Amino acid sequence: MTQTATSSSAPTFDIAVIGAGVIGLTHALELAWAGQKVVIIDQEAPGLGTSFGNAGHIGNEQLDPLASPSTFRNLLGYLLQKDAAVSFRWAHAMAALPWMIRFGLSCRKGQYHKGLKALSALQADSLPAWADLLTRCGAPDLLISQGNYMVVETEAALARGRAEQRHLSELGVACNWLEAHEMREHLPHARHAMAGGIRFHKSGHVANPYRVSQALETAFRAAGGHVHQARVEAITPLDSGVRIDHTGGHIWAGKALICAGAWSHHLARPLGLHLPLETERGYHLHWEKVNAPFDCPIGFFERRILMTPMGEDLRMTGGTELGGLSAPPTPKHMTALKYHAAAVIPQYEANSAKTWMGYRPSLPDFVPAMGRLKADPRVFISTGHQHLGLTLGAVSARAMRDLILERPPALDMNAYNPHRFHTL
């Protein structure tokens, strides 16, 4: 598998996929099923990056890119919120400044509408694509299609909550508004305040994101795929193929696909792609064997947190922190999550939960970057799936398989052009 680096070496693999998160795994699997000889290279075992600890929500109701006029209007309020729902580390502020400027530009109406169109096109099939993929993996039970709720706790937020529901309905999202008494009927065990809420009918969640990664890896190996554990240091296109330099040597492939999540821009930059990728760090609390008394994800509108039942376990996620890739977790985010847990699920001891932090790979317009690199037509990238990497994994994998294998595309891939920021 690992070969001596000479430009005359014949490629051992058709395609090398760098990164074994939910994006790399779904993409590698679709390519292997299409008859390609594929290797995945990751510095860790598959599924242990950001894809390990997310909320497990197949959030197909999230059509709106976060870069929007409304986010821009409310940004100061979010930043000033005491419970640290949105924040940035001061030490990282200068490094993140170009991203923030681009984010501001992406919030303009015209850019927002472009993003909305691009995300809506992916979301249209995000849940059916997962149903299909997990069925083919022999693990259909990992997907639960029970919809989800968004709780509005206070009278003060009712008008905004209702407006959000109307806006999403207008965009075609299957959802309706529930009054306080209806929320009580739907969620009889809730101990938190409920002034009203939104019922989303067509979204889903997974039994556990890591188990999804394991199912994808098993199916990938069964389809003849190879997994190689090493840190990739460079990707070099040469006449006879693409050489992947890693910590233990080299791998030769006909093509390379970068799916390295929040680290992808480091691998793409030497190839001429300057991707303005930032990480939005997010946190979770995870309780084992508590059997939550609800069967689908519940979001909290004012708190900006999400709780998801995962089999017998329960997970709460929150926090959006522009924090870079090297600093330790910021304690105030974990404190904030524990504060929310004590308020909405007092029956579970917050200090008994496992804690985790991960790195959302986010571009300033909140649209993934999926396409071919200008520098060499044999090198591709799929990253920037922000808060929706699990949701969009299966549908993105199909789109990239078609692009890489030069099949007729089901989507207009121009919308996800990784080079689009060069002209913004």
Ligand X SMILES: Cc1cc2nc3c(=O)[nH]c(=O)nc-3n(C[C@H](O)[C@H](O)[C@H](O)COP(=O)(O)OP(=O)(O)OC[C@H]3O[C@@H](n4cnc5c(N)ncnc54)[C@H](O)[C@@H]3O)c2cc1C
* Integer-rounded Cα radius of gyration of the chain: 21
Map the footprint of ligand X across residues 40-69, applying CB under 6 A.
41-44, 48-51, 54-57, 59
Q: Which long-range contacts (CB under 8 A, 24 or more apart) does 155-159 make?
A: 155/195, 157/195, 157/301, 157/302, 158/195, 158/196
Taking the complex as a whole, the smallest distance from the CB of residue 57 to ligand X amounts, in Å, to 3
E strand residue ranges, 155-208: 175-179, 196-200, 204-206
Taking the complex as a whole, the smallest distance from the CB of residue 298 to ligand X amounts, in Å, to 12
Under 8 Å CB-to-CB from 188, ≥6 apart: which residues?
A: none
> How far is Cα 98 from Cα 270, in angstroms, rounded to an integer?
19
Using rule CB under 6 A, residue 391 touches ligand X = yes
Using rule CB under 6 A, residue 23 touches ligand X = yes
DSSP 107-169: TSHHHHHHHHHHHHHHHTTHHHHHHHHHHHTT-GGGEE---EEEEE--GGGHHHHHHHHHHHH
Q: What is the DSSP letter of 276?
A: -
Among 263, 301, 366, 416, binds ligand X (CB under 6 A): 263
* Nearer Cβ to ligand X (51/330): 51
* Nearer Cβ to ligand X (66/195): 66
Q: β-pairing, 13-18 with 249-258?
A: parallel
- Residue 185 CB neighbours (<10 A): 9
3-class DSSP assignment, residue 297: coil
Using rule CB under 6 A, residue 19 touches ligand X = yes
Using rule CB under 6 A, residue 11 touches ligand X = no
Contact code string over 330-369 relative to ligand X, x by CB under 6 A = ----------------------------x-xx--------
> How far is Cα 308 from Cα 300, in angstroms, rounded to an integer?
12
Contact code string over 171-210 relative to ligand X, x by CB under 6 A = ----------------------------------------
* Nearer Cβ to ligand X (23/195): 23
Q: Do residues 89 and 330 make contact, with C-beta atoms less than 8 angstroms apart?
A: yes
Stretch that binds ligand X, among 91-99, 109-117, 259-267, 401-409 (CB under 6 A): 259-267
Q: Do residues 114 and 366 make contact, with C-beta atoms less than 8 angstroms apart?
A: no
Among 92, 255, 333, 385, binds ligand X (CB under 6 A): 385
Six token digits for residue 317: 């996620």
* Nearer Cβ to ligand X (217/302): 217
* Nearer Cβ to ligand X (49/364): 49
Stretch that binds ligand X, among 144-152, 287-295, 382-390, 411-419 (CB under 6 A): 382-390
Among 387, 396, 401, 403, binds ligand X (CB under 6 A): 387
What is the binding site for ligand X (CB under 6 A)?
18-24, 41-44, 48-51, 54-57, 59, 231-232, 259-261, 263, 267, 282-284, 317, 358, 360-361, 383, 385-391
